[in-house]
């Protein structure tokens, strides 16, 4: 069991938040709250929110703070979040962080640690544009760095692999810009609160070992 288990994963797109979330969940009974996954599900189901979000996501822009904060607040109120949670891709602005702080205070379930995955831009762009996701189970692969055993097929479930529409080079570049402009200020915000842990390691097994040591 981890002692610190209420976590935020911050990092630019392609920094490995989703991959490390998957490894953590396989070992620890935590809730995984990915605003990107929740939004993609809304888009797939063609809900009114999904229709609105699709346009912004396609352009690499952020969905309004109140919208994502509302989704996260509802999810955090569910009982499984008492075992610990990973917020993956939320908050992404200081305003979202303030909304989160209010929600957690109300739930009396405070944050333990904010993990910042710091990766250089060249690596990020190389990873994003070669990224593949399983249509069925969501597993993440990378044509260059973490290929599936059979090309285009998920190792875990046999599902078809596809590239997210926002992983094109053009959209990936604007998502990086959005990260530096809107999300990067969160690093100082959480540093000041004494919650920040910066990870510069890129090997996923070593990242896991480091997290288990730091959060124990
Ligand atoms: P990545 O971290 O790889 O960019 P995500 O799956 O976290 O991807 O997010 C994909 C898109 O969903 C973002 O580019 C943005 O449009 C939207 N999104 C996800 N999380 C948030 C958030 N917390 N605030 C605003 N928009 C978000
Ligand atoms: Zn799969």
- List pLDDT tens digits, range 83-123: 999 999 999 999 999 999 999 999 999 999 999 999 999 99
Distance CA 104, CA 97 (A): 10
Structural domain containing residue 82: 6-211
CA of 5 to the centre of ligand 1 (A): 22
Residue 29 lies in a domain: yes
The yes-or-no answer on residue 118 being catalytic is no
Q: Is residue 216 part of a domain?
A: no
> Which pLDDT score is estimated for 68?
96
Residue 80 has φ and ψ, to the nearest 5°, of: -65, -20
What is the length of the chain? 216
Q: Name the domain count of the chain.
A: 1
Per-residue confidence (pLDDT) for residue 1, from 0 to 100: 84
Q: Does the annotation mark 181 as catalytic?
A: no
How far, in Å, CA of 92 to CA of 12, rounded? 10
pLDDT at 62: 94
121 lies in some domain: yes
Note whether residue 153 is domain-resident: yes
| Alpha helices by DSSP H, the chain | 17-27, 35-44, 48-58, 65-76, 94-107, 121-129, 169-178, 185-192, 204-215
- Among residues 91, 166, 96, 158, the alpha carbon closest in space to that of 129 is found at 166
CATH number, domain of 27, equals: 3.40.50.300
Q: Measuring CA to CA, which residue among 37, 192, 18 is closest to residue 101?
A: 192
CA–CA gap between residue 186 and residue 145 (Å, rounded): 29
Query: Is 205 a domain residue?
Result: yes
Please tell me the distance between residue 141's alpha carbon and the centre of ligand 2 in angstroms: 10
1 found inside a domain:
no
Ligand 1 interacting residues, C-beta cut-off 6 A = 13, 35-36, 39, 56-57, 60-63, 68, 89-90, 92, 96, 166, 175
Low-confidence residues in the chain, pLDDT < 70: none
Token couple for 119: 């990766």
Whole-angstrom Cα distance, residue 76 to residue 97?
Answer: 14
Instruction: Specify the DSSP class assigned to residue 154.
Output: -
Choosing from 75, 113, 127, 175, the catalytic residue is 175
Q: Determine, yes or no, domain membership for 32.
A: yes
């Amino acid at each position: 069991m981890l002692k610190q288990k209420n976590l935020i994963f911050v990092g630019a797109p392609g920094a490995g938040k989703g991959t490390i979330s998957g490894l953590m969940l396989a070992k620890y009974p935590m809730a995984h709250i990915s605003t990107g996954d929740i939004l993609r599900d809304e888009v797939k189901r063609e809900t009114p929110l999904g229709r609105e979000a699709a346009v912004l996501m396609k352009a690499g822009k952020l969905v309004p703070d109140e919208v994502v904060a509302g989704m996260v607040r509802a999810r955090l109120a569910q009982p499984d979040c008492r075992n610990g949670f990973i917020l993956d891709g939320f908050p992404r602005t200081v305003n979202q962080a303030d909304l989160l702080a209010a929600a957690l205070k109300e739930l009396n379930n405070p944050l333990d640690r904010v993990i910042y995955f710091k990766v250089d831009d060249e690596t990020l762009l190389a990873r994003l544009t070669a990224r593949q996701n399983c249509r069925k189970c969501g597993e993440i692969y990378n044509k260059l760095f973490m290929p599936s055993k059979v090309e285009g097929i998920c190792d875990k479930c046999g599902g078809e692999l596809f590239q997210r529409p926002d992983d094109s080079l053009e959209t990936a570049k604007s998502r990086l810009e959005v990260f530096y402009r809107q999300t990067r200020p969160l690093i100082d915000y959480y540093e000041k609160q004494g919650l920040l842990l910066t990870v510069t390691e890129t090997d996923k097994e070593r990242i896991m070992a480091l997290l288990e040591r730091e959060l124990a």
